[in-house]
Structure 1
């Protein structure tokens, strides 16, 4: 049944976004400050199964990364200390794109044309699936979590989708899904061009940040109205390969996938402007798409989009200093 979408302003408030920002940053910092070792001897290259086709990555409080397959949607868990891992959830046969892990062991997965699903990483079971839109075409690409909401981007539609979470993190019903139409500075590139891609929040938690890949712009999105404003990043090169976003404090990491680089910015607290600081590159990058942090390292999966995928194509995750 098609979802009946309620008014966003009725469901969510700025306070929830602000609370989310503090909680998300705290979770990252907790993982970093409770570590007893530097992790410098940990592997810099983590192999994935042949033919896996990774895109999204997420890391929780422990030294484990979770990755989704663009092929069959399986979820792989890698031990960052040893580089070893295995499949923890067999895919439904449809893609897993962006993904985020909450503190209840639930993985929120963007499912491209299939909407979204939630996976219990302990059992591997899919515990919920959602049709986020009946519009076509649709490409649910990335996800960002706050304590009250799971936000999803759609690369083919000018909209964000919000799954409001209830008391104790209770998952919503299908008719609780909220569609936030993007307006303001947002100009949707037509057809199957990648528009909205990576998503995170502003440093002060008052708004969302979304990279529009085909245009090369970073947008600040009002979470109540959907009105966007382009973030002033100065005279830096456009983010035309912008993909995954990661915010740590006021530092924003933007993965530039086909440029094999991560651009680093310092943002104003409200996210209206930013200053380019440096570019991170590595000879092992092969079209990295998303990024997650643990301790003093960034971890990026090589999607290898320039290499035709086969069952024997090799894939890996690359660790670099942050």
Structure 2
């Protein structure tokens, strides 16, 4: 277990180069850098007041970290070498837009909105410069707005032609066409209270925070169905929110949201488990 020293909350995590990971203080927005092998972590970026940090994705080639800002309606891009803010975006009004998670493709970053059936895309040019964002309206079964958290986790296939999203209220996984916004259900999989997801090849890990577990799912070649192959549990899990993959190991964040929102627990950490 890797402690995030001084953190007042936690939610997101991203894998960087080698065994490096980045994690966020949910309600303060600060960014931590850790080492999954050494079992250490320290605060990296003390962000301006008023920011939040939820899902995140690292772009090691350009030393960038993309971070969702939750109910602020914003997203941020940080330089993980200098700690400066490279760009910030307001996708929608605070309180009616919840920027939850993010994934990277070769051309840019996709963010989910848990309150609206939309995805947001931030392009990144070959020099690592983020551009103006665009919004994509999601249609089909993934577009259902049925509860306080809808579209949540997101991952992209290696070619960037398909996105996979988790829907917390429906407890389901969907594919989304990033060109049209059309969605389709991934059948055979039920993941109640799903939060973040991790994709590697045809293996997908779905973190179920309030179930205190992570499911490892094998997807078929067309991404139309899947089967649960393993349910990962740990006595150290405390409403885990999402994970990052390091070979055969998952680094899972304890969000401790069972203590309230904002959480009232003391101490936040990353739990290492076999994936």
1:20 corresponds in structure 2 to none
1:97 corresponds in structure 2 to 54
CA deviations 1:211-252 (Å, max 9, x no partner) are 1111111111011110111111x2x5x322111111111100
Change (3 A) 1:90 1:203: closer
- Of 60, 68, 76, the match for 1:110: 68
RMSD in angstroms over aligned alpha carbons?
A: 1.8
CA deviations 1:268-306 (Å, max 9, x no partner) are 223111122111111111111011011321000100011
Would you say the 8 A contact 1:241–1:259 is kept in 2?
Answer: yes
Aligned length: 270
Residue 253 (structure 1) aligned with residue 202 (structure 2): no
Matches of 1:133 and 1:177, distance apart in 2 = 12
TM-score normalised by the chain length of structure 1? 0.79
- Of 207, 216, 229, the match for 2:171: 216
Matches of 1:294 and 1:316, distance apart in 2 = 17
CA deviations 1:154-174 (Å, max 9, x no partner) are 0001100001122323210xx
Q: How far off is 1:134 after superposition?
A: 4.4
Change (3 A) 1:70 1:135: closer
Change (3 A) 1:177 1:203: closer
Matches of 1:126 and 1:205, distance apart in 2 = 26
Q: How far off is 1:51 after superposition?
A: 4.2
Matches within 5 A, 1:227-246: 227-232=182-187, 234=188, 236=189, 238-246=190-198
Change (3 A) 1:181 1:321: same
Residue 188 (structure 1) aligned with residue 141 (structure 2): no
1:38 corresponds in structure 2 to none
Residue 168 (structure 1) aligned with residue 127 (structure 2): yes
Matches of 1:135 and 1:73, distance apart in 2 = 15
1:149 corresponds in structure 2 to 108
- Of 135, 154, 157, the match for 1:199: 154
Extract unaligned runs of 5+ from structure 2. none
Change (3 A) 1:303 1:109: same
- Of 252, 261, 265, the match for 2:217: 265
TM-score normalised by the chain length of structure 2? 0.92
Matches within 5 A, 1:1-322: 45-93=1-49, 94-103=51-60, 104-112=62-70, 113-134=72-93, 137-172=96-131, 176-190=132-146, 193-202=148-157, 205-232=160-187, 234=188, 236=189, 238-308=190-260, 309-310=263-264, 313-322=266-275
Q: How far off is 1:315 after superposition?
A: 1.1
Q: Which has the higher helix share?
A: 1
CA deviations 1:91-143 (Å, max 9, x no partner) are 22221000111022110010112411101111111111011234860100000
Q: Which has the higher strand share?
A: 2
Extract unaligned runs of 5+ from structure 1. 1-44
Could you say which structure has the larger radius of gyration? Answer: 1
